[in-house]
Structure 1
Amino acid sequence: MASENISLPMDCAMVDILYASKNDGSRQLYSFSWRANAAYELFVVQSVDLVITPMMDGPRGQHTPELSWPRDLRSRLELGNGKSIPNIRAFLDEALQEDHTPPSIGVKLIIPTVNGYVAQSNIIEERLHGCPYVGSAVGFLQPGELVKNFSLPAPRPNQDKGVSIPQLYSLLIAAIGGIKSTISGSESPWEVLGSLENEFKNRLGLQFLLPEPIPRRRVGLVRCKDDRMSNELLLYLNIDLVIFDAPGHFMEDPHGHSAHLRASFHAIDLNPDDGFVQRLYLAARDLHLDGIITRFDPLLEKVAQVAELLQLPSAAPSAFAVATNKYLARMALPEDDQLQDQVRCVKTKYDLEQPLRITYPVVVKPTQGRSSFGVVKVMDESELLEAVDRAASFIVGCGGEINIHPDVMIEPYVDGPEVDINIAMWDGEVLFFDVSDNAPTAADLHKEGESGRKDFQEGLFMYPSHLPDSEQTLVCQYIQDCILRMGFRTGTFHCEARVRGSSMRYVRQNGSGIIDLEKNPAATGIQPSIFLIEINCRPPGYFGLYATTWNYGVDLWGLHFLCCINDESRFRALSVPFLNGAQHHSAVLLVMPEKGGILRSEDPGARLRREKPELAACVPLYRNFFEIGQRVTSPEEVETSFTAIVVVESKGERSDLIRVVEELKVEWTPVIE
């Protein structure tokens, strides 16, 4: 590396220092230049721009100072899985050892401006995911620790180096996080750090250092999925995870790959029968829990009953009973009488009145279930009877030797763009919401007289929604009213709805299979209204969860847990989205097999990283649910499965996102024999 001729801003301090790498012990002379950025109102942190430039002529005599480090540098939480623990020295070591063009590196140090307790110790990494100009970002924080404020001295140009060196040491030791910028050959590191300051203001304007201590809490999670980032998050929130799940679960083995993420494991029969509440209560009563929770819909009401028995925070079980039953939820809504009169609930097709007084098309769905399995649009009586049979065959649980089946709801089919809505609410106040577009399903695209599938199985969600802000606000207000009517005041909710009379409609683009929202001329003069599909009183699934987290900076999984321990201060603090709204266009692609059989194709993600790295870079998260040689369930079965779920991100326009999604659809199409 060689030195550069870089013009320094007027308000910079600078000093030449020998830096010894901890990794290989090498000593190199560097020029360290830094400047403090403005302190913003209501921020708990301030940034300092640091530019480090290697000097080509080596050490300058015996009096050149060497950067020395204290033993007790702050470092981030150790997860216990073999990862190194980054501190400011490790962060700089890694940054300086990379190849750079130009050789100078630009670093933004994050300095606390208040005394406060850490609400979430990985907040810097999480909020800076996918950020422009960022090569890497890391926080040096422990969950719940007390951080002391640091008063930044005003740098003075050409000040005495004897003054500058202690100032530099103090800055490095006080930093609670570091951001290494990306610099192209034509850019000045100061210019890049200046642009990055705009993102600092956009992303870190939340109160993640709180005035009151954050004690360690113990929360019971009933039914735990192997979702690594969600399970790790609880450690960052100073929460010990107590797992209740079936024997043989991956968390049961104390030496398993994720055992370090839980405090204890308790085997329990998860069948949602009449004895479940007593089983869970007996398993949990002596564990000194501060909260108990689940994201598994069939158990939400029963876990709330156990929370009541344990005198732990929870919404009323009666509210969960309504929300998890699609028929009871429909009857609780402020719909017009004409629509309510067309809704029916039956156990089997034999409960339907004769003759059938039904106006087609209608939607048939299990009143309890998962995803959109068993939900279909039917056009006539023969399809109706078949669909009711199929929906009623869904198994919710087992009562002794008898399977527990859901009731079946029949309701009118309502047209209009479908959206998913996430809401975080405390005491009736909506603190955060986002809206995403649910692309048309086979049922939506089906025309009368056509053959083929008529199910509502989702295939693609796009963030943020392309609907106008007025319609998104209307959706949020309507959903908030529905949630309150069901008896909830606080929590995280994942909801689905349609916008009737929307100003937008889905149109197939000429010459391609791409379908997207465009202006709807037929809606001119029509007042849009909202038709609720369902309210899930929990966060979205893992992949939709992180699509929202990375787009807006709000992690609904963490809020779900903070709600169950009644931690209002952290719930409010961590519900603050990015100042500028959604940071990019993203999507969740769900890959459903066209047939059942044996999977013959390899992991598409691994292949793309080898053959198409630019396309692979658009996929920050994915999961394949089958491996080569395994049998893939047929989409015709009542309980089927996706072959993969893929999160896609694009820094371009929505059209660019759709183009990438279409390419990934081809890449992720499984070979099944």
Structure 2
Amino acid sequence: MAIGLLSGQPTGRLCNMTVDSDTDSMSSAMNTPPSPLSATNGPTSQARPFIWEFVPLCDLYSVAHLILLPSSLRLMSALVPQHGETAPNGISNGQHQPRFMDILAALGLGAVSSVQNGISIFTAILPWTDGYVSRSDFLHLRLQDFPFPISKIQDCLGPLRRYKACRLPLSRSEDDLATLLESAAAVIQWGDLDSSVSILSLQRHLLDLTHELRCRLHDAPWLVPHPIARKRVALIRGRPNLTAGGPIYRAARALGLDLVIVDDQGHWLQPDTEENRMHREAFLPTDMTEDDGVVDRIVASLRRYPLPIHGVFTVSDNFFVTCARVAAALGLPSNPVSAFEISVDKHRSRLLQDSPGQTARVSSVEELDALLAAATPTFTPTYPLIVKPTKGWSSECVSKVSNPTDLAAAVRKATARHGSAAVIEPFFDGPEIDANFVLLDGEVLFSEIADEPPCDADAAGASVEATFSPEALTMPSALPEDEQRVVRETLPGLLAKAGFRTGVFHVEARVVNSRCRYRRDGGGGDGEDGILDLAPKESLGELLTNEPACKLVEINARPPGYRVSVPVRHTYGVDYFAVHMLAAVGDKERLRLAARPFAFSSSPSITTHDSSHDSGLPSRAPGAQYWSRLVYVPAPAAGVVRWRSGMSPCEELKRRRPDLRERIVVAVDYCAPGDRVAMYTDGARTYVAHLLVCSRVSRRDAIRVGEEVLREIRVDVDE
């Protein structure tokens, strides 16, 4: 039968072979008696035969696939061309060392020698048009967690460099292939296939590989049409360690942004070492004491720097307003200072979406008592309610109050944190979500919603001591599409009301009157077994006549923390830290490009059937390459951390459970042996690690693996 590889609309067929239908393996089809040409003597006779194909991928890219066959395989005499030329079907007789082999070797791409026994596959990425490199590690970003093994990605373009597209008319010669490889923006070497693979399996493999590339690169430009000016951006408050700061430093380097760090004397990035110079251009030691003079001190440090500063940014919550004031003083791009002042004050941000009498602000228990005893009350508490510091983060000192007796204790706890007042607000009963938005001049370029399962304080009988510390995060959201639409319409409106126009924003909210609730399923209904996830409400008593609504919890005018930003980058292909820095320097064109997610549809292409679709909930959200579950690992006790196995908890888990290792995308330990940990830090759970797991099967499968990871990880603490 005739087998055609890589169908679609390629320039030519990858391969048309006539093979026996009962023996369709590559070795069976090709290991025929040698033709007279295959008996040629000399060293060049051992060159590997190959097949190649030029494939238009989408409007932005084409690709050239090259398949190197083992030298032991013999091509059928009917297909072998004469004198070392390439046949019209793209098959070489392998009688000489073609120039493209030297190009692959120069790129450092694997073993392309004649002794290779497997089938080697290479793909050249070829943008259709000329341009300048928006981000040098673009392909690494877009190919994260590719479902087929990648041996190496060889980038051929540096940051901001010019790329010239190849425009040769294809005659399907070896010289054309060599020219395409030389013109490639990048070349990928995939994991070798066994030589016994069937032709049909190779066909499916190449079709799936091409489909994956199309979904990752479609509508995602690598290049801009005009030169990109090199800019310098200052990070106000460097990160505490390389784990937390690495994604920022790497993104800056790939974007061609020179990074200057402003922080206290003695910061780990201050020493002028070779390693530190990889992460930043300069370090400006500055007194960062949070007083009335901190803005002037930062401005003075930046003005003393001999090179121009084009933007400033921070990811430290307590420096949002300071950073905005620095930008205003230097005439640099930023949202208004007033917008940040609203976002960092939880009482003022609550008033963006408030009803009279729902919310109060008090500075002490005495002020609370006076408020409640007023002859004309302006605040009428309705239980349960929430008490939290007006200035705070990470669920610190946030309390759920279910009765008047606990209200004073909650206010006392909240006002003791950061010396701030306490805000008293309604408790919104409904699924909690994290929603992230990328805005450009008020336009939403990208948004995604993730689900937070219930925490301790969500329980009906939770005490005032229960915490709102997150336990996990699942993305994409399983809320019904109409409820997600309400979220995407409500929250950007509140951001605009606060005054925000451009940047990335991490917003926490709840959906009230949702048609879903959390329950355990598959093991015992609402019992201890089964998977805990959102599911449609079943009883008529649970279905409310009120329309679903999105209620704001808080606004964070920054990317989510690196624990969440990195999973979003893996799941959707959007790097929030890159967006954040491009907004800071006012690079609107590249900001728009950085907000392009993957182009996967809601139905996984190389997966089994999505069981979550049968539940009436949405399947994988458009853009997501898989379902993912972020798992937070809390300290099991207060004490000293020990690594009894000699390995960190995450590494020990992966060694002990290789089945789970295959599903773990990211694993980060926070503690080293000898570190002291508490079970709670400032009223929130203390975490010692986090892991991201993924599933291309279903959301339920991702949650199941995440829960198993949490059960299986071993954290040793000597109490």
TM-score, normalising length: structure 1: 0.86
User: For the residues of structure 1 that align with 2:654 and 2:394, how far apart are their CA atoms?
Assistant: 30
Aligned-partner SS, 1:240: strand
User: For the residues of structure 1 that align with 2:114 and 2:508, how far apart are their CA atoms?
Assistant: 49
Which of 661-670 and 298-307 deviates more?
661-670
Is contact 1:547-1:588 (8 Å) kept? yes
Kindly provide the amino acid, as one letter, of the partner of residue 439 in structure 2: M
Measured after TM superposition, the shift of residue 383 of structure 1 is 1.9
Kindly provide the amino acid, as one letter, of the partner of residue 496 in structure 2: L
Change in CA separation of 1:69 and 1:11 when aligned onto 2, cut-off 3 Å: closer
Is contact 2:262-2:283 (8 Å) kept? yes
User: For the residues of structure 1 that align with 2:105 and 2:452, how far apart are their CA atoms?
Assistant: 43
Residue 350 of structure 2 corresponds to residue 330 of structure 1: yes
Kindly provide the amino acid, as one letter, of the partner of residue 431 in structure 2: P
Structure 2 counterpart of 1:423: 437
Kindly provide the amino acid, as one letter, of the partner of residue 529 in structure 2: S
Change in CA separation of 1:109 and 1:212 when aligned onto 2, cut-off 3 Å: same
Kindly provide the amino acid, as one letter, of the partner of residue 364 in structure 1: V
Structure 2 counterparts to residues 117-196 of structure 1, below 5 A: 117-136=132-151, 138=153, 139-151=155-167, 153-156=169-172, 164-182=173-191, 183=193, 185-186=197-198, 188-196=201-209
User: For the residues of structure 1 that align with 2:187 and 2:493, how far apart are their CA atoms?
Assistant: 42
Which of 270-279 and 487-496 deviates more?
270-279
The C-alpha deviation readout for 1:364-413, integer Å capped at 9, x for no partner, is 11111121111110122332222222222223xxxxxxxxx222111111
Structure 1 counterpart of 2:285: 267
Structure 2 counterpart of 1:346: 362
Structure 1 counterpart of 2:20: none
User: For the residues of structure 2 that align with 1:106 and 1:327, how far apart are their CA atoms?
Assistant: 58
Sequence identity percentage: 31
Measured after TM superposition, the shift of residue 625 of structure 1 is 1.8
Aligned-partner SS, 1:92: coil
Structure 2 counterpart of 1:400: none
Structure 2 counterpart of 1:367: 390
User: For the residues of structure 2 that align with 1:98 and 1:477, how far apart are their CA atoms?
Assistant: 60
User: For the residues of structure 1 that align with 2:544 and 2:702, how far apart are their CA atoms?
Assistant: 29
Structure 1 counterpart of 2:533: 516
Structure 2 counterpart of 1:591: 633
Kindly provide the amino acid, as one letter, of the partner of residue 297 in structure 2: R
User: For the residues of structure 1 that align with 2:482 and 2:396, how far apart are their CA atoms?
Assistant: 32
Which residue, out of 242, 264, 280, partners 1:246?
264
Residue 494 of structure 2 corresponds to residue 494 of structure 1: no
Structure 2 counterpart of 1:664: 709
Larger radius of gyration: 2
Measured after TM superposition, the shift of residue 257 of structure 1 is 3.6
Structure 2 counterpart of 1:469: 481
Structure 2 counterpart of 1:531: 551
Which residue, out of 612, 615, 620, partners 2:657?
612
The C-alpha deviation readout for 1:432-477, integer Å capped at 9, x for no partner, is 00000011111112x23x6585221111000100111221121011
Which of 517-526 and 562-571 deviates more?
517-526
Residue 525 of structure 2 corresponds to residue 478 of structure 1: no
User: For the residues of structure 2 that align with 1:211 and 1:6, how far apart are their CA atoms?
Assistant: 41
Is contact 1:366-1:409 (8 Å) kept? yes
Measured after TM superposition, the shift of residue 636 of structure 1 is 6.4
Structure 1 counterpart of 2:424: 410
Which residue, out of 204, 220, 233, partners 2:251?
233
Is contact 1:35-1:155 (8 Å) kept? no
Residue 219 of structure 2 corresponds to residue 210 of structure 1: no
Measured after TM superposition, the shift of residue 152 of structure 1 is 5.2
The C-alpha deviation readout for 1:216-243, integer Å capped at 9, x for no partner, is 1100001122232331111110101100
Is contact 1:233-1:558 (8 Å) kept? yes
Aligned-partner SS, 2:47: strand
Measured after TM superposition, the shift of residue 551 of structure 1 is 1.0
Which residue, out of 33, 43, 47, partners 2:51?
33
Measured after TM superposition, the shift of residue 66 of structure 1 is 2.4
Structure 1 counterpart of 2:566: 546
Which of 103-112 and 425-434 deviates more?
103-112
Which residue, out of 692, 699, 707, partners 1:647?
692
User: For the residues of structure 2 that align with 1:438 and 1:541, how far apart are their CA atoms?
Assistant: 15
Is contact 2:508-2:555 (8 Å) kept? yes
Structure 2 counterpart of 1:83: none
Residue 214 of structure 2 corresponds to residue 201 of structure 1: yes
Change in CA separation of 1:387 and 1:474 when aligned onto 2, cut-off 3 Å: same
Residue 56 of structure 2 corresponds to residue 11 of structure 1: no
Measured after TM superposition, the shift of residue 174 of structure 1 is 0.9
Measured after TM superposition, the shift of residue 266 of structure 1 is 1.1
Measured after TM superposition, the shift of residue 136 of structure 1 is 4.2
Q: Could you list the runs of 5+ residues in structure 1 that have no partner in the other structure?
A: 19-24, 74-86, 157-163, 396-404
The C-alpha deviation readout for 1:181-235, integer Å capped at 9, x for no partner, is 4547455434312221112221112122111111211000011222323311111
Which of 28-37 and 433-442 deviates more?
28-37
Change in CA separation of 1:27 and 1:462 when aligned onto 2, cut-off 3 Å: farther
Is contact 1:366-1:406 (8 Å) kept? yes
Kindly provide the amino acid, as one letter, of the partner of residue 328 in structure 1: R
The C-alpha deviation readout for 1:630-665, integer Å capped at 9, x for no partner, is 210231644763111222222221111111111111
Which residue, out of 131, 136, 143, partners 1:116?
131
User: For the residues of structure 2 that align with 1:94 and 1:604, how far apart are their CA atoms?
Assistant: 36
User: For the residues of structure 2 that align with 1:282 and 1:98, how far apart are their CA atoms?
Assistant: 63
Change in CA separation of 1:608 and 1:568 when aligned onto 2, cut-off 3 Å: same
User: For the residues of structure 1 that align with 2:150 and 2:3, how far apart are their CA atoms?
Assistant: 21
Measured after TM superposition, the shift of residue 594 of structure 1 is 4.1
Is contact 1:362-1:377 (8 Å) kept? yes
CA RMSD after TM alignment: 3.0
Kindly provide the amino acid, as one letter, of the partner of residue 30 in structure 1: R
Change in CA separation of 1:617 and 1:345 when aligned onto 2, cut-off 3 Å: same
Measured after TM superposition, the shift of residue 54 of structure 1 is 2.2
Residue 443 of structure 2 corresponds to residue 441 of structure 1: no
Change in CA separation of 1:641 and 1:222 when aligned onto 2, cut-off 3 Å: farther
Is contact 1:35-1:48 (8 Å) kept? yes
Q: Could you list the runs of 5+ residues in structure 2 that have no partner in the other structure?
A: 7-11, 17-36, 75-79, 85-94, 374-379, 601-622
Kindly provide the amino acid, as one letter, of the partner of residue 665 in structure 2: P
